[in-house]
Amino acid sequence: MKKVIVYSLKNCNKCRNLLSSLNSNDIQYEIIECHGDNTDCDRMEDITDCYNYPVVKIEVSEHRTVYLAVDGKSENKPTLLPNGSTIFYYFSVDKLLITLLEILK
């Protein structure tokens, strides 16, 4: 089963919109609140080189992880990360959600 982890900020409208969409689509997820000194969030930022939120981590299999980020870098163009993971950047939560739903099929 694919595991979905959402890295979120408490007062972030895009984060709230994403969480609302996940709930309305009955998608189970773990949430990591990124405020203060959070080593999980720091590690995610180091891996993805992404400092905007939300970021979704999908553990597709034991050896394959996909990140989806609302950041606006090269939208829809997958980027291979040094650790072998893939990240997709989006300008909107709606476009991120479309990809997330496709991956979870």
- How many independent structural domains does the chain possess? 1
Give me the pLDDT at residue 35, please. Answer: 86
**In this structure, what token pair is assigned to residue 20?**
């609302």
Q: Note if the pTM is more than 0.85.
A: yes
- The range of the structural domain enclosing residue 13 comes to 3-104
- CATH number, position 67: 3.40.30.10
Please state, in angstroms and rounded to a whole number, the distance separating the CA atoms of residues 41 and 52: 11
Beta strands in 1-105, from DSSP E residues, in sequence order: 3-8, 30-33, 55-61, 64-70, 79-80, 86-90
Q: Kindly report, residue by residue over 11-41, the tens digit of the pLDDT.
A: 999 999 999 999 999 999 999 999 887 899 9
Q: Kindly report, residue by residue over 85-100, the tens digit of the pLDDT.
A: 999 999 889 999 999 9
Query: Residue 75: pLDDT above 80?
Result: no
